[in-house]
Amino acid sequence: MLPAARGQTPSLADVLTGALSAIEGSASALSLPPVRSAAVVLVDGLGMSALRPRAGHARRLVAAAPRRGGSIDAGFPTTTAAALATLTTGLAAGEHGLTSYSALDRENDRVVNLLRGWDDRARPEQWQPHPTVFERAAARGIEPVVVGAERYRDTGFTTAVLRGARFEAHRSIADRVAAAVELLRGPENRLVYVYVPELDQAGHAEGVGSGTWTRRLEDLDAALAPLERGLPTDAGVLLTADHGMLDVPPERRLVIEGGSALWQGIRHVAGEPRCLHLQVDEPERLPEVVERWRTAEAGRAWVVTRAEAIEAGWFGRVTPEAAERIGDVIVAARSEVAYYDERTAERSALAMVGQHGSFSDDERRVPLARWGAFAP
């Protein structure tokens, strides 16, 4: 049995679009009340399975995300490039086209890193051509503002998923949340987006079970204090995440040797360690590649063809352009493992403890917290 899409339940695609709908006074999947302005705080790497056991370290956040209605589905794949594009367009990966952490660029016979690999052959406006929520807001007289770290101001990924918004740079989590509150206090109609990468960084480096990750969670919770007392009555704030993560111990980080038979018939390896996208070198070799990987890894991963993944709804509706960026074969981890290609694996990647990309609830279930006019 293959994992399937989660049906009609609220998801990450509904959050920023729902905030815009609330400003416009129209209905949305989140059933938010009308507001003058709204903000969405996106905490990279914050899954419910890591948050709930640390409720005592995040009392504000947990109180604003009750057990009923306080979590949503991040969608698939559970990776930042795809998830943030879903958040800011309201579309699934198969439609917005950012299909993984790194994707196949068949036209140029290569793999493109979708967070930092943009160039003249892979332009963000072409790979992600759909209007962002910020562009839609601006067209309706609502000022869109992105609040994040300075290093994200002018990247190709920012162009792909955040275009249309004015960018404000602030260093700390507390500074970013405080800036958002000040923006919401102004008389204008505003849609504000705040990005918090610190928990994801701690999780990758030391794991979501580490003391460092818990301290970043405490930093976040302390920074949320202004949301309890500083919001105007006609503004609402939502907090969610792009994905969760799970800790993969060293012995479960599987480095496949360069001479392994598993690489036979494969031209490119894209995706990420918990969700590989494999491009075969010749179409007629697809059955043998699938059989070889299933024989070796079916106990630890779903090994499917692109056609099977699309039929199962993994990527939502898939455009012809997005289909070309999906692997001919997808290897999605079903247990606590991560796969590495010995020929290309970087030391930093092999050292990563916290991982994500596949279908587990640890990766896929994320919070939906509410403050101000959106409070539960």
Residue 226 near residue 39 (C-beta atoms within 8 A): no
- Going by C-alpha positions, the residue among 295, 294, 246, 299 that lies closest to residue 273 is 246
The reported pLDDT for the residue numbered 6 is 66
This prediction has a pTM of 0.97
Q: How far is the C-alpha of 241 from the C-alpha of 73, rounded, in Å?
A: 10
Residue-wise pLDDT for 194-237, tens only, equals 999 999 999 999 999 999 999 999 999 999 999 999 999 999 99
Percent of the chain with pLDDT over 90: 96
What pLDDT does 315 receive?
A: 97
Q: CATH 3.40.720.10 in the chain, residues?
A: 12-99+114-246+359-372
> What are the tokens at 63?
């109180």
Q: How many residues does the chain have?
A: 376
Residue 361 CA to residue 200 CA, distance in Å, equals: 17
Percent of the chain with pLDDT over 70: 99
**Rounded Cα distance, 162 and 135, in Å:** 9
Radius of gyration of the chain (CA): 20
Peptide bond into 77 cis (omega under 30): yes
User: Does residue 7 have a pLDDT over 70?
Assistant: no
Measured in Å, how far apart are the chain's first and last C-alpha atoms?
A: 36
Any idea what DSSP says for residue 33? P
Mean pLDDT, rounded, for 101-126: 97
Across-strand partners of 71?
Answer: 367
Of the candidates 306, 297, 296, the one whose C-alpha atom is nearest the C-alpha of residue 271 is: 306
Q: How far apart are CA 98 and CA 139, in angstroms?
A: 24
Domain 12-99+114-246+359-372: CATH superfamily, name plus number: Alkaline Phosphatase, subunit A (3.40.720.10)
Instruction: Say if residue 8's pLDDT is above 90.
Output: no
pLDDT interval class at 1 (50, 70, 90): confident
Residues of each domain in the chain carrying CATH 3.30.1360.180: 250-355
Report the alpha-carbon distance of residue 275 to residue 302 in Å, rounded: 9
Q: Tell which CATH architecture fits domain 250-355.
A: 2-Layer Sandwich (3.30)
For tokens 């917005």, the residue is 96
* Helices 80-89, 15-24: crossing angle, 10 deg rounding: 20
> pLDDT tens digit string along 73-87?
999 999 999 999 999
Structure-token pair, residue 312: 């199962």
Q: What torsion, rounded to 10 degrees, do the Cα atoms 262, 268, 273, 276 define?
A: -80
Q: Cα(25)–Cα(69) distance, rounded to whole angstroms?
A: 21
